[in-house]
Amino acid sequence: MMKLKRFIFITIVILMITAFYSYSQEEFPMVDNLIFDHPQRPAAVFDHDDHNEKAGVEEDCSICHHVYEGKELIKDESSEDSLCSECHSLKTTPENGISLRMAFHNRCKSCHFKSNNGPVLCGECHIK
Amino acid sequence: MHSFINFIMGPMVWISFLIFFIGVIFRLIGLFKQINAKENFVYTYLSFKYSFRSIFAWLIPFLPVSTRKSPVFYSISYVFHLLLFLIPIFLLSHVALLEESMHWSWVTLSDSTADSLTLIVIFSLIFFFIRRFVVPEVKFLTRLSDFLFILIVALPFVTGFLAYHQFFAYRWMVIVHVLSGELMIILIPFTRFFHMFLAPLTRAYTGSEFGNVRHAKDW
């Protein structure tokens, strides 16, 4: 009888652990990094809606999806219909001095540092 | 926490390099004052030609006779010193950070290459550590500080390796990585890490004497 009880107990524990792991291994949404030829790190973890809700930036898309003309930021205009890579190329160009990698990194980190919140170190976004 | 991370990865980097450069200048001024006071006869035979002849000869692997006498130690030492500079300078993460703050950038190693090279550095340091117990003439000269300096060099590489693989305590691993790297830069002028600057001067001194006075090779 004791052996049967122990067997059932252990089975339940194993099932719970498996359930926990299969649930926690659910894919995190990530930034689309297909444009990079040989990405050195896993794509950055980023859940757009979840992030904006937590950060309280749902109202103003132009915080991230900005529009620049030359070096001038155009206020009240946003660019959420275009990809970051449409302006920020892989390598810096005379028209745009901020490469795509740099645009991603600085866009995220500058806000996170200012707000004392969110990931700021390499492996906090590029999770292996 | 964010402002602390921002400080150690921002201003503290520049403070470390400032201390490094000022320290190096003061050490070199002190050194030349001492030479002028005690040994200014070296200027009578000091020559650029023989100085650089000696420096370059000692840079070529296995040209100097003494390096051929302990080939294992010199091979490891040679590769270790090369990688000590090569890895941090051409590491993608370092260059990316510099590009983002200063708009400076240059060619980088791939992360997987840097990863393997870092293991070579760590194994070299383990070799140097064991060597101090095993080789009698080295053991005789070993003091506690020798292990301390091995540890100081090992820290940024070991924590960098562990942080890259995100094994555990990621944030703390990066913090210790950054701080130990800065500690190493600050310590260079004030400790025996200063052989980085003294070694070529020693070669110039010896090379000039051998070339100009004894008319012999010093390798």
pLDDT greater than 70 at residue B109: yes
**Taken in order B203, B206, B212, B216, is the CA torsion positive or negative?**
negative
Cβ distance B5 to A121 less than 8 Å, yes or no, reads yes
Residue B78 and residue B91 in contact, taking contact as beta carbons nearer than 8 Å: no
Q: What is the pTM of this model?
A: 0.86
Beta bridge partners of A72: A69
Domain map (residue ranges) of chain B: 2-213
Contact A41 B111 (CB under 8 A): yes
For position B41, what pLDDT does the model report?
87
- Between A13 and B64, residue with greater pLDDT: B64
Nearest CA distance, B153 vs chain A (angstrom): 22
Which residues from chain A sit within 8 angstroms of residue B178, using beta carbons? Answer: none
User: What's the pLDDT score for residue A1?
Assistant: 63
CA angle B196-B197-B202, nearest 5°? 105
Look at the domain B2-213 and name its fold: Fumarate Reductase Cytochrome B subunit (1.20.950)
Span A20-36, average pLDDT: 71
Distances, alpha carbon B155 to alpha carbons B118, B130, B158, B180, in Å? 12, 17, 5, 6
Which of B163, B202, B213, B156 lies closest to B181, judged by CA?
Answer: B156
pLDDT at A92: 85
pLDDT at A26 over 60: no
CB of B179 less than 8 A from some CB of A: no
Q: How far is A113 from chain B (nearest CA, A)?
A: 6
Q: Please report the pLDDT score of residue A32 as a whole number.
A: 83
- Listed residue (B115, B146, B145, B123) closest to B72, CA to CA: B123
Our CA-based measurement puts residue B78 at a distance from the nearest CA of chain A, in whole angstroms, of 28
pLDDT value of position B190: 96
Average pLDDT, chain B: 94
Q: What pLDDT is attached to residue A71?
A: 82
pLDDT score for A5: 80
CB-nearest to B174 from A112, A117, A121 is A121
pLDDT for res A18:
67
User: How much is the average pLDDT of A36-56?
Assistant: 90
Closest chain B CA to residue A111:
B2
> Which residue from A40, A102, A120 is facing B99, i.e. has the nearest CB?
A102
A24 band by pLDDT with thresholds 50, 70 and 90: low
Structure token digits, residue B115: 């990863």
The rounded distance, in Å, linking the Cα atoms of A84 and B74 is: 50
A103 Cα to chain B: minimum distance (Å): 9
Of residues B36 and A24, the one with the higher pLDDT is: B36
What is the tens place of the pLDDT at every residue in B127-186?
Answer: 999 999 999 999 999 999 999 999 999 999 999 999 999 999 999 999 999 999 999 999
% of chain A surpassing 70 pLDDT: 90
Chain A residues interacting with chain B (CB cutoff of 8 angstroms): 38, 40-41, 97, 99, 101-102, 105-106, 109, 112-113, 116-117, 120-124, 127-128
Chain A touched by B2 (CB under 8 Å): yes
* pLDDT tens per residue across span B57-90: 999 999 999 899 999 999 999 999 999 999 999 9
Q: Alpha-carbon torsion B159, B165, B167, B169, what sign?
A: positive
Q: Is the pLDDT of residue A7 over 70?
A: yes
Token representation of residue B33? 């004052």
Q: Are B92 and A40 in contact (CB under 8 A)?
A: yes
Q: List the beta strands (DSSP E) in B17-120.
A: none
Residues from chain B that touch A103, judged by Cβ atoms under 8 A, are none
Measured distance CA(B123)–CA(A42) in Å, rounded: 27
Structure tokens at B67: 């390096």
A31 or B28: which leads in pLDDT: B28
Choose from B166, B167, B168, B173 for mutation: most chain A CBs within 10 A: B166
